[in-house]
Structures are given as structure tokens and as C-alpha cells.
Amino acid sequence: MAQEQANNDAAEAADAAETAPQTSPETASPETKPAPEEKSPRSQQPGRSRTSMRNALRQMPSWLVSMVLHMVILLGLALWSLPPGITDELRQLIVSSGENDEFDDLEEIDDDPLEDIEVTADVVAMDAPIEQETPEISPAEDMEAAAVQVELSEFGLEHAPKNDLLASIGAFSGTGLQGRGSGSRAAMLRQGGSKGSEKAVGAALKWLAAHQMPDGGWNFNHAACPQCNGACRNPGSGVQARRGATAMALLPFLGAGQTHKSGNYKQTVKGGLYFLVQSMKMDPRKGGSMFEPAGSMYSHGLGSITLCEAYAMTHDKGLLMPAQAAINFICYAQDPVGGGWRYAPRTPGDTSVVGWQIMALKSGHMAYLNVPPRTVVMASRFLDSVQANGGSHYGYVSPAAGPATTAIGLLCRMYLGWKKDNPALQKGVTWLSKAGPSPGNMYYNYYATQVMRHWEGEEWEKWNAVMRDQLVNSQATAGHEAGSWTMHGDHGATVGGRLYCTSMATMILEVYYRHMPIYRKQSTEEEFPE
């Protein structure tokens, strides 16, 4: 009985991409926020502006002075009495101003910056109104405020070394992505990877690179790519979801430590990042959206993970603002009532879309971006609303026990701070372990593999042996398809085609170094034995 429900649930979850509504975030989301106060510290040049202000005041009739004063007081009161959500969002915009001087040090590391990825005119337009809201605090205070927010959120504190918050923000040590360096990657491989799995990852990256479109992005219909021209079978139907496809193609490169600044695929990754950044729609109040009708908030979540990871790994200053803007849009798009996310911004959530947004927040946190604690708390509340059996199982939009949704729910719980001794977590992991990897449902496999990897121990070893060999043995080896995968039994495969299957399979095979295990103490020391 539970299993039947579970299957329906997983199908529903995977179906999500297919049934994305054709609404744009603009039409779907009524704006309720008041216009921010006009108060630009940048226009206040000391001395001169003060004198001109005094002159202006002198020339005004007294009734006008009184009216202006009252308006300012009323606006102040209105802002003060706004619901916490709105003030948080305003603060979020304030903190995320592009003027982060403390990141200037990082420029030295930029040997090959994204100089072509100019922050577009739209992005600049976003910057201007944000500056008007910037309070008069020094950059140092600004930075401190951001660090405290990370600490308060307890978001991922379990995985990060305790000294993280004391480390200089430019050091980027202990971010949870450190397994991707070439030396540590070899060490991490010993924890479950094999020669076969690494060879498979190498072949997959080659296939992905060969199916990049001339504009730098990817298409779920890989046959549209001139180099392929239909030589590979199983194209996806989601031809409009270009941002989602591009993010899915880039993530395996980043997972293998390949960025636009180092590795064998610099130009490939650069082209993809360029495609994502230039397609981002900036709004001063909402952030930077990668939402697209065909890919909905899935595309935005995937794109956000990509930008945050690329930024965290390279410290490329050109990616800082797009990555923070992407996180800001996730905060904006959260359902203000239930705390979830779904196809369109600010609508009641489902576990499938929520999973990608929480992964993105996690990536943003690892990149030292500002992730408001309130967003994280609200996301936990959404998980509460779909959990069953005390939190060991999760449904799609209501309490149930679907395999894919349970795997997503448990991974989110791990990221949101559940400890390893949590009975519900233990129960859920045992349930997944008994079920084992699915022969075709890559969506379930992707999340469940990560749960097992963080859990470690016997359950992980048992899971990994089956999962790894199943993927290594099912990879295409002949013709243009060599290095790719196609699976049946996953609704995402219809929309995402061979590109989706290949991306998911590759990320599963990168699990040994893609993220550091959450529950391991001092993973940095263990990573370099002797």
C-alpha cells in the first residue's frame, strides 16, 4: 500500500517538469512590497550636500517642510512595522549590494576571469536601486553582519569545520567543495570510487562538451547541436528549458573540479556560465531570475547551484553578484505562507522543486553568500508539512512515503541541521537502504546516493557497490553516444532526454568528491592521510 502510494508520488514528483505552467513570475506574483525609501548615502558628499540641503530647506515654505518631515516619519514607521518577511527581504537586498569591497583581494587569484561575462546592463540596473538602500555602515561592519547571519542559520554547520566562520572570507577553506581539488580527488576516490567510475566520468564530460550549442548553452534536445545532428538517440522534449539544460550540463564539470579557470574544459565551462549569466533577468526587488516557463523554478534552482558552485570554486569576482542575485530570487520566490517552492514563484511548494532550491541555498552558503536564516527556517517548516512517520518519510505536497520524495526530504534535513542520531533520519536511511538503487529512476538515485554518502558506514558501502557498477555498466560506449546514458523509468528522462540522464548519472559517480560528507569530523585531516 505504501509502495503504491510511493510510486505515484515519485511519478508526480518527476512529472513536475512536464507540467510547468506557462505563467511568468511577473504575472504570477502580485507585488505587495512598498517602494523603498529614497536615501542614497552616495549622494551625500560631506560638506557640500549638507549646505545645499540647508539652503533648500530655507527656501521651502514651512508647510512643505512639515509635510516632508511627516512623510519621512510615516515611511519610517511603515518600514518598522512591516512583517518580518518584508524587512528581511529589504535587509537581504541591502546586504547583497554588489559593492563588497572585502572581495577585492580575490582579484589577484583571477588568472582567467570571466572578463567576457560582462555583467549586463540589466545587472547594472539592479545595482543602482540597491545602492540607494545601503545603510551608512562601513564595509567591515557589512561583512560582519553577513557572517553572523550564516552562523545564526545553523545551515550546514554540521559539515563545515568549526573554524570556518573565523577564517578570512577570501580563504575559502573548508567549504565542503574541497574534495574537488586534484590531489584530494584521488584520496576521495578511495572512498567508493573506482577506475571504472572515473573513466565513466571522463567519457561523460567529453560527451557533454561535444553537445554544447554554438551559443554556449545546452539544449535537452541534444540533436539540435550541429556536431551531433541527431547522431545520438533519445532527445528530450524540453527544448525551451535552455537554462535548465545548461545548468544540468555544467554541474558535472564543476563536480569534477573543472571550471572556467582550471582543468581541460575551461572554454566549455566559460561558455555555459556566460549563457546563464547573460540570460538572467534582474529585478531590484526580486533578485536575478533564471526562471523560464518551460523549466520553471527547476531551471532557477539548478542555475543557482551552478553559479554558486562556480563562484565558490574560482572566487571569480564576476560571478559574485549573479550568484547572490540568484540566491536572492530564491528567497523572493519562497511561498510566504508554507515556506516551499513550486513551478511559479510564491506559490505553495512541492518537495521536488524545494529540493533544488535547498541545494542551491546550501551551495550559496558554501560560497559565503548571504542566505537569510528566515528562508531556511521557513523551508524546514515546509518539510514538516510533507513529512510522514515522524520525519522518516516525505510526500510530494502532503505527508506520504514516496521513494524519491523521501530521499529529497532526508537530504534536505541533513543540510538543514538534523544530527546523525536523529531517530527519524536513521529510520529513513534504513528504509532507503533496504529499497536499494532503482534501475531507472535517476531522480531517486541522485538524492538517495547523496543521503547514503553523507550517512557513510555499511549502508553507504552496500548502496555504492550496486549504484556505481550499475552506472558504469550501462554507459553507452559506441558512436556519438559514447559516454552518455539513457534510462527508462524516470519521467525527467522524457523532458530532459539523454542530457538529463547523463548529467544525473555523472553527478552520482562524482559523489565521492563532489561534497564532503556532512557527518565526518575534521574531514580535511582525513583527506590527506600522513
- Closest distance of CB 210 from Zn ion, Å: 7
CB contact burial 156-179 (16+ within 10 A = b; e otherwise)? bbbbbbeebeeeebeebebbbbbb
- Bridge partner residues of 394 (DSSP): 387
Backbone phi, psi, residue 156, to 5°:
80, 10
Comparison of 109 and 231: residue with beta carbon closer to Zn ion: 231
Interacting span for Zn ion (CB under 5 A) from 223-231, 330-338, 373-381, 455-463:
223-231
Minimum CB distance to Zn ion smaller for 166 or for 478: 478
Q: Tell which positions 166-185 bind Zn ion, by CB under 5 A.
A: none
Q: Which is nearer to Zn ion, 198 or 481 (CB)?
A: 481
Question: How far is it, in rounded angstroms, from Cα 312 to Cα 363?
Answer: 8
Q: Which helix (H) or strand (E) holds 482?
A: none
Nearer to Zn ion, 248 or 354 (CB): 248
Quick check: helix, strand or coil at residue 321? Answer: helix
SS3 state of residue 287: strand
Of 480 and 491, CB closest to Zn ion = 480
> Measured from the CB of residue 233, what is the shortest distance to Zn ion in angstroms?
9
CB of 211 to Zn ion, least distance (A): 6
- Between 185 and 480, whose beta carbon lies closer to Zn ion? 480
Which positions ≥6 away from 319 have C-beta within 8 Å?
A: 114, 117, 273, 277, 307, 310, 311
Report the nearest approach of Zn ion to the CB of residue 89 (Å). Answer: 44
Q: What's the min distance (Å) between Cβ of 455 and Zn ion?
A: 37
Give the three cell numbers for residue 216.
Answer: 554556449
Work out the burial of residue 211: count CB atoms within 10 Å of its CB; fewer than 13 is exposed, 13-18 middle, 19 or more buried.
Answer: buried
Kindly indicate which of the ranges 12-20, 107-115, 405-413, 473-481 contains the residues binding Zn ion, using the contact rule CB under 5 A: 473-481
Tell me how far, at minimum, the Cβ of 230 lies from Zn ion, in Å. Answer: 8
Closest approach, Cβ 490 to Zn ion, in A, equals 20
Select the span of 132-140, 173-181, 399-407, 480-488 touching Zn ion (CB under 5 A). Answer: 480-488
Measure the CA–CA gap between 372 and 92, rounded to whole angstroms. 7
**How near is the Cβ of 257 to Zn ion at its closest, in Å?**
25
C-beta of residue 344 within 8 angstroms of C-beta of residue 303: no
- E strand segments, 176-292: 281-283, 287-289
Nearer to Zn ion, 106 or 232 (CB): 232
Which of 315, 362, 374, 480 lies at the binding interface for Zn ion (CB under 5 A)? 480
Number of Cβ within 10 Å of residue 282's Cβ equals 22
DSSP string, 53-111: HHHHHHHS-HHHHHHHHHHHHHHHHHHHTS-HHHHHHHHHHHHT-S--GGGGGGGGG-S
Are residues 218 and 253 in contact, defined by beta-carbon separation less than 8 angstroms? no
Nearer to Zn ion, 95 or 213 (CB): 213
Distances, alpha carbon 233 to alpha carbons 211, 217, 503, in Å: 13, 20, 16
CA 156 to chain centre: 14
Binding-site size for Zn ion (CB under 5 A) equals 4
Query: What's the closest the beta carbon of residue 416 comes to Zn ion, in angstroms?
Result: 39
The nearest distance, CB 245 to Zn ion, in angstroms, is 14
CB of 200 to Zn ion, least distance (A): 17
Residue span binding Zn ion (CB under 5 A) among the ranges 8-16, 142-150, 224-232, 434-442:
224-232
Residue closest to 213 by CA, chosen among 288, 271, 273: 271
Compute the least distance from the CB of residue 204 to Zn ion, in Å. 13
- Total residue count of the chain as it appears in this document: 530
CA distance 169 to 228: 43
Compare residues 228 and 319 and give the one whose CB is closer to Zn ion: 228
Q: How far apart are CA 418 and CA 426, in angstroms?
A: 11
Query: In this complex, which beta carbon is closest to Zn ion, that of residue 119 or of residue 232?
Result: 232
Contact pattern from residue 226 through residue 265 relative to Zn ion, giving x for each residue in contact according to CB under 5 A and a dash for the rest: --x--xx---------------------------------
Nearer to Zn ion, 187 or 231 (CB): 231
Q: What's the closest the beta carbon of residue 483 comes to Zn ion, in angstroms?
A: 10
Stretch that binds Zn ion, among 71-79, 193-201, 462-470, 477-485 (CB under 5 A): 477-485
Nearest of 459, 421, 422, 415 to residue 437 by alpha carbon: 459
**Which is nearer to Zn ion, 232 or 269 (by Cβ)?**
232
Q: Does 325 bind Zn ion (CB under 5 A)?
A: no
Return all residues near 489 (Cβ < 8 A) that are at least 6 apart. Answer: 438, 439, 440, 441
Do 72 and 79 meet the contact criterion of CB atoms below 8 Å apart?
no
The residue range among 17-25, 55-63, 110-118, 479-487 that interacts with Zn ion, by the rule CB under 5 A, is 479-487
- Fill in the per-residue mask, 404 to 433: x = in contact with Zn ion (CB under 5 A), - = not in contact: ------------------------------
Furthest-apart CA atoms within the chain: distance in Å:
84
In the numeric block, the cell 552506472 is attached to: 471
| Residues 373, 385: Cα–Cα separation, whole Å | 19
When the beta carbons of 207 and 253 are compared against Zn ion, the nearer one is 207
Which positions lie near Zn ion, rule CB under 5 A? 228, 231-232, 480
